[in-house]
Amino acid sequence: MTCYAIGLLHDVEMGPGILAYLEGIDATLAPFGGRYRIHGGVPEMLEGACDRDLIVIAFPDRAAARAWYGSAAYQALLPHRLRHARGAVFLIDGVAEGHRATDILRRGG
């Protein structure tokens, strides 16, 4: 099942550190089948407010997503982002084709 690496970043300091991160991250994704689905952009807010940059990267499964995050190539880049941006990053599985809202009632959450 597709797994998504989600980043909700704020206070991004554009400069050499973030530039190095951006220039290097694409090469770290390819070996694990990672591909961008959302990378920032201006949301059209329908409810509430959002002051974060949203990044969504899809991987074939959670094992691939974990392997990417733990890879030597990504770990070498990670300090650039950690020093120059704040926020949350997490993995979450997608849903199967045909998923319905009430399906969560059967899995207890």
Instruction: Tell me: pLDDT of 108 over 70.
Output: no
pTM for the full model? Answer: 0.87
Q: Which helix (H) or strand (E) holds 46?
A: none
Residue scoring higher pLDDT (97 or 31)? 31
Given this model, what pLDDT does residue 57 score?
A: 96
Q: Is 53 within 8 Å of 35 (Cβ atoms)?
A: no
pLDDT tens for each residue of 58-67: 999 999 999 9
92 Cβ neighbours under 8 A, 6+ residues apart: 3, 4, 6
Q: Left (φ > 0), alpha (ψ -120 to 50) or beta: where does 108 sit?
A: left
- Sign of the Cα torsion 89, 95, 99, 101 reads negative
13-55 pLDDT per residue, tens:
889 988 999 999 999 999 999 999 999 888 888 899 888 899 9
**All structural domains of the chain:** 11-42+51-107 (3.30.70.100)
What pLDDT score was predicted for residue 109?
A: 52
